Amino acid sequence: MNKNDLISAVADQADLPKAKTAELVDAVFTAIEAALKRKEEVRLVGFGSFATATRKASTGRNPRTGEEIKIAASTSVRFKPGKALKDAVN
């Protein structure tokens, strides 16, 4: 399912026009993104939690040459599904 499929499904279920539904879906994504930028956790009870995780800088090896390389610190987004979502999928 892509974003357009999601918008269509929500529009059909909520009986809303697709244009308005697209605005709402974008607003939800923007709100989640803004919270994660502020390093806040986003918990959607029954669905799951989004949180940021920070990786420290480290050194690695180029597998082809064996040369050491520096891997920069980075921040990524993690999703942990909630119990209701796990149960619905199983």
On the question of pLDDT at 90 being above 90, the answer is: no
Distance CA 76, CA 88 (A): 26
Q: Same domain for 47 and 87?
A: yes
User: Burial of 16 by CB count in 10 Å (0-12 exposed, 13-18 middle, 19+ buried)?
Assistant: middle
pLDDT of residue 68: 94
pTM summary value = 0.79
Q: Same domain for 64 and 29?
A: no
pLDDT of residue 38: 96
Q: Same domain for 9 and 52?
A: no
| Domain limits for position 45 | 41-90
Q: Same domain for 89 and 45?
A: yes
pLDDT of residue 67: 94
* pLDDT, tens only, 4-57: 999 999 999 999 999 999 999 999 999 999 999 999 999 999 999 999 999 999
Task: Determine the average pLDDT of the residues in 82-89.
Answer: 94
Q: Which of 54, 10, 58 is nearest to 36 (CA)?
A: 54
